Amino acid sequence: MTDLIMDTATEKTLRSVNPAAFRPTSDMELSEEYLTRRFERPTRRTGEVVYELTSDAGYLHQYYRLREEMFINVWGLKQFSGHEDVFDAKSDIMIARIGNHCIGGCRLTFANPAKKLGLPMEKEDFTIGGHVKLPLKDVTYVEISRMAILPEFQNSLVMLELSRQLLKRGAEKKARYAFTLAPVPLSRNYRKAASLFGLKWNIRYDIAVPDREEYEGIKMVLSVLDLAPTYRNKNQQPLMDINSDVTLIAG
Protein backbone atom coordinates (compact mmCIF):
# COMPACT_ATOMS: atom_id res chain seq x y z
CA MET A 1 0.00 0.00 0.00
CA THR A 2 1.14 3.54 -0.71
CA ASP A 3 2.11 5.83 2.18
CA LEU A 4 0.89 8.93 0.34
CA ILE A 5 -2.10 10.65 1.94
CA MET A 6 -4.59 11.38 -0.80
CA ASP A 7 -7.85 13.30 -0.78
CA THR A 8 -10.87 12.30 -2.86
CA ALA A 9 -9.88 14.51 -5.79
CA THR A 10 -6.42 13.04 -5.95
CA GLU A 11 -7.76 9.50 -5.79
CA LYS A 12 -10.07 10.32 -8.69
CA THR A 13 -7.11 11.67 -10.66
CA LEU A 14 -5.15 8.47 -10.11
CA ARG A 15 -8.04 6.28 -11.18
CA SER A 16 -8.49 8.34 -14.35
CA VAL A 17 -4.91 7.81 -15.54
CA ASN A 18 -4.45 5.28 -18.29
CA PRO A 19 -0.95 3.90 -17.57
CA ALA A 20 -0.40 2.66 -21.10
CA ALA A 21 -1.25 6.06 -22.58
CA PHE A 22 0.69 8.17 -20.08
CA ARG A 23 3.13 10.60 -21.68
CA PRO A 24 5.15 13.16 -19.65
CA THR A 25 4.39 16.69 -20.84
CA SER A 26 5.68 20.20 -20.20
CA ASP A 27 3.21 20.77 -17.34
CA MET A 28 4.66 17.87 -15.36
CA GLU A 29 7.70 17.72 -13.13
CA LEU A 30 9.67 15.31 -10.99
CA SER A 31 8.06 14.47 -7.66
CA GLU A 32 10.81 15.40 -5.18
CA GLU A 33 8.75 13.94 -2.34
CA TYR A 34 8.66 10.67 -4.23
CA LEU A 35 12.45 10.51 -4.48
CA THR A 36 13.13 11.50 -0.87
CA ARG A 37 10.47 9.64 1.06
CA ARG A 38 12.47 6.40 1.21
CA PHE A 39 15.65 7.99 2.51
CA GLU A 40 14.68 8.97 6.02
CA ARG A 41 16.77 6.37 7.84
CA PRO A 42 20.32 7.31 8.99
CA THR A 43 23.00 6.44 6.46
CA ARG A 44 26.77 6.61 6.30
CA ARG A 45 28.07 9.90 4.91
CA THR A 46 30.43 9.75 1.97
CA GLY A 47 31.97 13.22 2.15
CA GLU A 48 31.28 16.16 -0.12
CA VAL A 49 30.31 14.35 -3.30
CA VAL A 50 29.22 16.50 -6.25
CA TYR A 51 26.87 15.01 -8.85
CA GLU A 52 26.69 16.79 -12.17
CA LEU A 53 26.37 16.55 -15.92
CA THR A 54 29.72 17.33 -17.43
CA SER A 55 31.42 18.13 -20.72
CA ASP A 56 34.71 19.00 -19.00
CA ALA A 57 37.54 17.24 -20.82
CA GLY A 58 39.42 16.45 -17.62
CA TYR A 59 36.46 14.88 -15.85
CA LEU A 60 35.44 12.96 -18.98
CA HIS A 61 38.96 11.56 -19.27
CA GLN A 62 38.78 10.33 -15.68
CA TYR A 63 35.35 8.83 -16.23
CA TYR A 64 36.43 7.02 -19.41
CA ARG A 65 39.43 5.53 -17.60
CA LEU A 66 37.26 4.58 -14.61
CA ARG A 67 34.67 2.74 -16.68
CA GLU A 68 37.38 0.84 -18.55
CA GLU A 69 39.01 -0.28 -15.31
CA MET A 70 35.69 -1.29 -13.74
CA PHE A 71 34.40 -3.19 -16.76
CA ILE A 72 37.68 -5.07 -17.10
CA ASN A 73 38.44 -5.74 -13.44
CA VAL A 74 34.92 -6.10 -12.03
CA TRP A 75 32.81 -7.47 -14.90
CA GLY A 76 35.58 -9.42 -16.61
CA LEU A 77 35.32 -7.81 -20.05
CA LYS A 78 39.04 -8.10 -20.72
CA GLN A 79 38.88 -6.49 -24.18
CA PHE A 80 36.61 -3.62 -23.16
CA SER A 81 37.68 -0.12 -24.18
CA GLY A 82 36.40 2.78 -22.11
CA HIS A 83 37.68 5.38 -24.56
CA GLU A 84 35.25 7.93 -25.93
CA ASP A 85 32.95 6.44 -28.55
CA VAL A 86 30.42 7.79 -31.00
CA PHE A 87 27.58 7.68 -28.44
CA ASP A 88 29.38 9.69 -25.76
CA ALA A 89 29.14 12.88 -27.81
CA LYS A 90 25.41 12.26 -28.36
CA SER A 91 24.66 11.50 -24.72
CA ASP A 92 24.54 13.10 -21.29
CA ILE A 93 27.44 12.10 -19.03
CA MET A 94 26.64 12.24 -15.32
CA ILE A 95 29.55 12.00 -12.89
CA ALA A 96 30.08 11.84 -9.15
CA ARG A 97 33.24 13.52 -7.89
CA ILE A 98 34.98 14.54 -4.70
CA GLY A 99 36.93 17.69 -5.43
CA ASN A 100 38.52 17.12 -8.81
CA HIS A 101 38.54 13.33 -8.45
CA CYS A 102 35.87 11.41 -10.39
CA ILE A 103 34.59 8.48 -8.33
CA GLY A 104 31.71 7.38 -10.53
CA GLY A 105 29.70 8.10 -13.62
CA CYS A 106 27.11 6.99 -16.11
CA ARG A 107 25.87 7.72 -19.63
CA LEU A 108 22.31 8.59 -20.65
CA THR A 109 21.31 8.40 -24.31
CA PHE A 110 17.86 9.76 -25.13
CA ALA A 111 15.57 9.03 -28.06
CA ASN A 112 12.36 10.90 -28.80
CA PRO A 113 9.68 11.26 -31.49
CA ALA A 114 11.31 14.37 -32.98
CA LYS A 115 14.78 12.86 -33.28
CA LYS A 116 15.04 9.10 -33.16
CA LEU A 117 18.57 8.31 -32.11
CA GLY A 118 19.78 4.74 -32.21
CA LEU A 119 20.60 3.64 -28.68
CA PRO A 120 24.04 2.18 -27.87
CA MET A 121 22.55 -1.29 -27.37
CA GLU A 122 20.85 -1.27 -30.77
CA LYS A 123 22.41 -2.97 -33.78
CA GLU A 124 21.08 -4.96 -36.71
CA ASP A 125 20.67 -8.01 -34.47
CA PHE A 126 18.79 -6.21 -31.69
CA THR A 127 16.50 -3.17 -31.49
CA ILE A 128 14.25 -1.96 -28.70
CA GLY A 129 11.23 -1.58 -30.97
CA GLY A 130 11.71 -5.07 -32.33
CA HIS A 131 11.91 -6.82 -28.97
CA VAL A 132 9.88 -4.81 -26.45
CA LYS A 133 6.16 -4.31 -26.94
CA LEU A 134 5.74 -0.80 -25.59
CA PRO A 135 4.19 2.39 -27.05
CA LEU A 136 7.51 4.04 -27.88
CA LYS A 137 6.42 5.93 -30.99
CA ASP A 138 5.24 9.03 -29.16
CA VAL A 139 7.39 9.09 -26.02
CA THR A 140 10.95 9.91 -25.02
CA TYR A 141 13.01 7.04 -23.64
CA VAL A 142 16.57 6.63 -22.47
CA GLU A 143 19.29 4.02 -22.30
CA ILE A 144 21.40 4.03 -19.13
CA SER A 145 24.84 2.62 -19.87
CA ARG A 146 28.50 2.63 -18.87
CA MET A 147 27.71 2.86 -15.13
CA ALA A 148 30.98 2.73 -13.18
CA ILE A 149 31.73 3.51 -9.52
CA LEU A 150 35.01 3.06 -7.67
CA PRO A 151 34.82 -0.15 -5.55
CA GLU A 152 35.27 1.71 -2.25
CA PHE A 153 32.08 3.70 -2.96
CA GLN A 154 29.89 0.96 -4.41
CA ASN A 155 28.28 0.10 -1.06
CA SER A 156 27.76 3.71 -0.01
CA LEU A 157 25.15 6.32 -0.84
CA VAL A 158 26.97 7.16 -4.07
CA MET A 159 25.12 4.51 -6.08
CA LEU A 160 21.75 5.60 -4.71
CA GLU A 161 22.39 9.32 -5.13
CA LEU A 162 23.71 8.80 -8.64
CA SER A 163 20.51 6.85 -9.38
CA ARG A 164 18.46 9.73 -8.01
CA GLN A 165 20.30 12.17 -10.26
CA LEU A 166 19.65 9.94 -13.26
CA LEU A 167 15.93 9.93 -12.45
CA LYS A 168 15.99 13.72 -12.19
CA ARG A 169 17.65 14.05 -15.56
CA GLY A 170 15.18 11.63 -17.09
CA ALA A 171 12.32 13.73 -15.74
CA GLU A 172 13.87 16.93 -17.12
CA LYS A 173 13.90 15.32 -20.56
CA LYS A 174 10.36 13.95 -20.02
CA ALA A 175 11.47 10.33 -20.49
CA ARG A 176 8.81 7.65 -20.01
CA TYR A 177 11.00 4.53 -20.07
CA ALA A 178 14.59 3.67 -19.24
CA PHE A 179 16.49 0.66 -20.63
CA THR A 180 19.76 -1.04 -19.78
CA LEU A 181 21.74 -3.88 -21.26
CA ALA A 182 24.11 -5.22 -18.62
CA PRO A 183 25.51 -8.35 -16.97
CA VAL A 184 23.07 -10.10 -14.66
CA PRO A 185 24.81 -9.06 -11.38
CA LEU A 186 24.87 -5.40 -12.40
CA SER A 187 21.22 -5.55 -13.48
CA ARG A 188 20.33 -6.94 -10.05
CA ASN A 189 22.19 -4.04 -8.42
CA TYR A 190 20.15 -1.63 -10.53
CA ARG A 191 16.98 -3.40 -9.43
CA LYS A 192 17.93 -3.05 -5.77
CA ALA A 193 18.57 0.67 -6.20
CA ALA A 194 15.26 1.16 -8.06
CA SER A 195 13.36 -0.70 -5.33
CA LEU A 196 14.54 1.86 -2.76
CA PHE A 197 12.67 4.47 -4.79
CA GLY A 198 9.62 2.21 -4.99
CA LEU A 199 10.14 1.68 -8.72
CA LYS A 200 9.69 -1.61 -10.58
CA TRP A 201 12.86 -2.60 -12.39
CA ASN A 202 12.03 -5.43 -14.75
CA ILE A 203 14.86 -7.73 -15.79
CA ARG A 204 13.64 -9.29 -19.04
CA TYR A 205 15.07 -12.78 -18.87
CA ASP A 206 12.47 -13.78 -21.47
CA ILE A 207 14.06 -11.60 -24.17
CA ALA A 208 17.05 -13.19 -25.86
CA VAL A 209 20.03 -10.85 -26.09
CA PRO A 210 22.49 -11.76 -28.91
CA ASP A 211 25.86 -13.17 -27.83
CA ARG A 212 28.01 -10.45 -29.34
CA GLU A 213 31.77 -10.72 -29.58
CA GLU A 214 32.29 -7.72 -27.30
CA TYR A 215 30.44 -9.49 -24.47
CA GLU A 216 33.23 -12.09 -24.29
CA GLY A 217 30.84 -14.86 -23.27
CA ILE A 218 29.27 -12.89 -20.42
CA LYS A 219 25.47 -13.12 -20.30
CA MET A 220 23.76 -9.78 -20.86
CA VAL A 221 20.13 -9.08 -20.01
CA LEU A 222 17.75 -6.31 -20.99
CA SER A 223 16.07 -4.36 -18.20
CA VAL A 224 13.17 -1.92 -18.42
CA LEU A 225 12.10 0.78 -15.97
CA ASP A 226 8.79 2.62 -16.26
CA LEU A 227 9.36 6.20 -15.09
CA ALA A 228 5.69 7.22 -15.06
CA PRO A 229 5.31 6.99 -11.24
CA THR A 230 8.02 9.62 -10.69
CA TYR A 231 6.00 12.42 -12.29
CA ARG A 232 3.40 14.73 -10.84
CA ASN A 233 1.33 17.65 -12.08
CA LYS A 234 2.73 21.02 -11.06
CA ASN A 235 -0.28 21.37 -8.74
CA GLN A 236 1.53 18.74 -6.59
CA GLN A 237 -0.82 15.89 -7.39
CA PRO A 238 0.89 12.58 -8.25
CA LEU A 239 -0.20 11.15 -11.59
CA MET A 240 -0.13 7.49 -10.62
CA ASP A 241 -0.22 5.41 -7.47
CA ILE A 242 3.51 4.85 -6.94
CA ASN A 243 2.90 1.30 -5.71
CA SER A 244 0.32 0.47 -8.36
CA ASP A 245 0.14 -3.17 -9.37
CA VAL A 246 -0.39 -2.04 -12.97
CA THR A 247 2.68 -2.93 -14.99
CA LEU A 248 3.17 -2.92 -18.73
CA ILE A 249 5.96 -5.50 -18.71
CA ALA A 250 6.23 -8.71 -16.75
CA GLY A 251 9.79 -9.09 -15.50
Residue 152 is predicted with a pLDDT of 85
Residue-number span of the structural domain to which 160 is assigned: 21-40+106-233
Residue 142 lies in a domain: yes
**pLDDT at residue number 159:** 84
Alpha helices, DSSP H, located in the chain: 8-16, 32-36, 57-73, 128-131, 157-172, 184-196
pLDDT at 241: 38
Query: Is residue 138 a part of any domain in this protein?
Result: yes
Q: Is residue 66 part of a domain?
A: no
The answer as to whether 186 is a domain residue is: yes
CATH of the domain at 30: 3.40.630
Domains: count for the chain: 1
What pLDDT, in 10s, does the model give residues 122-157?
998 998 888 888 888 889 999 999 999 998 887 778
Please give the Cα distance from 90 to 99 (Å, whole number). 26
**65 in the Ramachandran plot: left (φ > 0), alpha (ψ -120 to 50) or beta?**
alpha
Answer yes or no: is pLDDT of 35 > 50: no
Could you tell me the pTM of the whole model?
Answer: 0.75
Inside any domain, residue 16: no
CA distance 211 to 208: 9
Q: Is residue 30 part of a domain?
A: yes
Q: Is residue 34 part of a domain?
A: yes
Q: Binning pLDDT at 50, 70 and 90, where does residue 238 land?
A: very low
52: in domain:
no
Query: Which residues, other chains included, contact 67 with Cβ-Cβ below 8 Å and sequence gap of 6+?
Result: 82, 105, 146, 147, 148
| DSSP 8-state assignment for residue 209 | P
Greater model confidence, 24 or 60: 60
Per-residue model confidence as pLDDT tens digits over 71-103: 888 778 888 888 999 999 999 999 999 999 999
Where are the extended beta strands (E) located within 65-209? 92-98, 101-111, 140-149, 175-183, 201-204
- Under 8 Å between Cβ of 107 and 146: yes
